[in-house]
Amino acid sequence: MFDWEAAWHAALYGPTGFFARGEKPSSHFRTSPLVGPELAEALLTLLARVDAALGFPPVVDFVDVGAGGGELAFAVRSLASGSLASRLRVTAVELGPPVELPGVRWTSVVPSCVGLLVGHEWLDSIPCPVVTGPSSDPWITRWWPSLGDGEQAEVGAPRDAAWAAAVSSVRGAALAIDYGHLMSSRRFTLTGYRGGRQVPPVFDGSCDITAHVAFDSAADAAGGDWVLVSQRDALAALGLTGAVSGSGWEWLESAARAGRIAELRDPHGLGGFGWLLHGCGVAVADLLPALPPWRPNPASFSVT
């Protein structure tokens, strides 16, 4: 029988795998960290709240798991200021080759973290088994009971395990930002990306292979205090609304920034991503105000 998980793993992380050989996401798809500095700004606001809730520890971590080219980690390092900047330790966790960036340390293993751990489009790149219904797989039975005869499904168990392990390594908060689905909206989403285009998922290392994240099972696996909200709402709650002001160059700069924020908050695009935030020894209510729960947007079926 074809071993989907092993083939998927070899295609991305084997010796000649897509990510293992150093393909950078920025060459193949547009993610929020690549839009501009605004996501990093918002995450620094969140990190400052985590820092305060932890009582301003001597070292504050920002850990970027599945860091790709390190764009987010580097932006966070560069934009940090004041007391937080002097105590900040930024770590990029990546299976592919590291990128030399000032102030960012690289590792291939999730370290322990006192601060904020972020997995930005990390979980969707973790290979899964694929089954065809009917299936007695325990994860499918629990989390995809609607799977019909002959229908295919990605088994989210490896993502759940990875997320639970990552969250357990944190004191502060852990945040997964990704596209996903819930039990009420499951569908088979396995697909490929190459050079900015969606392509058939061929397991030969020539393309990224991804599938939507089952947020509900990942949240349940990691447990504790968590919320799942939309990127659109979370960014607004962290101060990114994109008002345009001033005149001349100032107006132009604020208009360009407003355009980038609008892209990050577009409910049919990046704004439709889910933010799964776990408080780890910290109350989520101290980090974000109450927001509407995230709902998958059928229009944003494939958004990278």
Ligand X SMILES: C[S@@+](CC[C@H](N)C(=O)[O-])C[C@H]1O[C@@H](n2cnc3c(N)ncnc32)[C@H](O)[C@@H]1O
Closest separation between CB of residue 289 and ligand X, Å? 25
Under the binding rule (CB under 6 A), the answer on residue 121 touching ligand X is: yes
Whichever of 34 and 53 has its CB closer to ligand X, that residue is: 34
| Interface stretch with ligand X, choices 30-38, 81-89, 148-156, 270-278 (CB under 6 A) | 30-38
Closest CB 175 distance from ligand X, rounded Å? 12
Which of 91, 125, 217, 231: binder of ligand X (CB under 6 A)? 125
Measured distance CA(75)–CA(44) in Å, rounded:
10
Give the nearer residue to ligand X in terms of CB position, either 91 or 125: 125
Q: Name the residue nearer to ligand X (CB basis): 39 or 130.
A: 39
Annotate the chain with three-state secondary structure: CCCHHHHHHHHHHCCCCCCCCCCCHHHCCCCHHHHCCHHHHHHHHHHHHHHHHCCCCCCEEEEEECCCCCHHHHHHHHHCCHHHHHHEEEEEECCCCCCCCCCEEEECCCCCEEEEEEEECCHHHCCCCEEECCCCCHHHHHHCCCCCCCCEEECCHHHHHHHHHHHHCEEEEEEEEECEECHHHCCCCCEEEECCEEECCCCCCCCEEECCEEHHHHHHHHCCEEEEEEHHHHHHHCCCCCCCCCCHHHHHHHHHHHHHHHHHHCCCCHHHCEEEEEEECCCHHHCCCCCCCCCCCHHHCCCC
Which of positions 58-117 make contact with ligand X (CB under 6 A)?
65-68, 93-96
**Binding segment for ligand X among 1-9, 119-127, 217-225, 271-279 (CB under 6 A)?**
119-127
CB of 57 to ligand X, least distance (A): 25
Closest separation in Å from C-beta 167 to ligand X: 14
Name which of 96 and 115 has its Cβ closer to ligand X.
96
| Shortest separation between residue 67's beta carbon and ligand X, angstroms | 6
- Name the minimum Å distance from CB 34 to ligand X: 6
Of 9, 77, 120, 278, the residue at the interface with ligand X (CB under 6 A) is 120
Measured from the CB atom, is 34 or 244 closer to ligand X?
34
**In the complex, which residues of this chain contact ligand X (CB under 6 A)?**
19, 25, 31, 33-34, 65-68, 93-96, 120-122, 125-126
